Amino acid sequence: MADVSVLDVLLYGEPIGTLTNVGGDRSIFAFNEDYIDNPDRPILGLAFKDEFGALLTEFRAYQKRVMPFFSNLLPEGHLRKYLAENAGVNPEREFHLLWALGHDLPGAVTIKPADGEAWPPVGGESPDAGDTEGDRRENALRFSLAGVQLKFSAVLAPTDGLTIPASGVGGSWVVKLPSREFEGVPENEFSMMTLARLTGIDVPPIDLVDVGSIKNLPEGIDKIGQRAFIIERFDRLSDGSAVHIEDFAQVFDVYAEQKYKTAALRNIAQVLAAETNDADIAEFIRRLVFCVLTGNGDMHMKNWSLIYPDRRNAALAPAYDLVSTIPYIPNDDMGLKISRTRAFTELTNDELEHLAAKAAIPEKLVLDTAREAVARFHQHWQAEKHNLPMTKQVRETIEAHIKKLPIAR
């Protein structure tokens, strides 16, 4: 097998740069001259701009890992291990993992070997006896949406329901499977996302489906739970073309394991103030308030994203991964600081005013949006809490939680 050491990085199907393995398990990224010289180039990510908005073109080499922007395109946790094992790739060697999974990444980035379709080397581990390159290609579930919970991209067939592809491009829906650790997570997420949409938050199409109706799942999934949560990918259009997105770990140029550190929600608001408009700032405040009211302690940097509908200008991407975590982690908090605090019970008008001042966003817009979000939440929570498929534990935990919140009064 050829020792391929260069990966082409494409954006909307056009080459824009290369990731090169420079030896010793070190890699470095470089933009193509054509991309650098194009005044109308599509945006790859905000981390590639300097403080004056000019394109950065000099990058250091990274050992074993790839630079954070590309590392964050890869899945985390259980899904990374699962896909890497099926591909015969060491999950810690990110250059090779991008090689194996790079044709169906979040957003409009694709990555492929510069000299053709050779499958990556085993990456320091021995394949199972008898495994051929074709076996590893077929076994690798080649879609790589970032995340910890086991979730796959799927095709919605007109007659057969959802199908998890064994190979090839994943599809336009994300299937999130039941959790081994916590009961009723798909039902929880469906309930929170439905409630979010009712309260005015931008939510993609969603549904709950029977696990048994999904074809080509890994064996044994039906023994964990009966239903799966599905959400339509907002980075794919109806014709299958890609819309570019980036999460805020990419924006802030940090690795996934730092997603609860190095930034506060006010820093996300600062970026939105600089790159988007008042409508996106209001949407951000609605989601922040909603997460406090429902006890969602998992809104880290990777659960907020930007989207580039026109390829050059950023907007706040639709909501995703809205789950009430307090039924599973009773003493949970916001994960990221709001402005000065992580505590749900410390989201007050004073904290919102502090956030507005630090992020340089209109205080009146922040307070008016928060007040409206609370009112709409109460209206729809009272109307829908017994109709949504969340467990009794989730419903009662949220009920008790709301009573402790100054912002809910």
Active site positions, annotated: 298
Among candidate residues 347, 378, 353, the one with its CA nearest the CA of residue 366 = 353
How far is C-alpha 328 from the geometric centre of its chain's CA atoms? 21
Q: Which helix (H) or strand (E) holds 271?
A: helix 265-275
Q: Would strands 173-176 and 227-232 be described as parallel, antiparallel, or unpaired?
A: antiparallel
The span from the CA of 319 to the CA of 209, in Å, is: 20
Structure tokens that stand for 12 in this block: 């909307």
Please count the other Cβ atoms lying within 10 Å of the Cβ belonging to residue 396: 13
Q: Which helix (H) or strand (E) holds 400?
A: helix 392-402
Would you give the DSSP letter of residue 345?
G
The span from the CA of 320 to the CA of 69, in Å, is: 20
Q: What is the DSSP string of 30-50?
A: EE-HHHHH-TTPPP--GGGB-
The span from the CA of 1 to the CA of 88, in Å, is: 15
The span from the CA of 162 to the CA of 158, in Å, is: 9
Please count the other Cβ atoms lying within 10 Å of the Cβ belonging to residue 120: 24
CB 100 within 8 A of CB 89: yes
Please count the other Cβ atoms lying within 10 Å of the Cβ belonging to residue 115: 11
Find residue 14's DSSP bridge partners.
Answer: 11
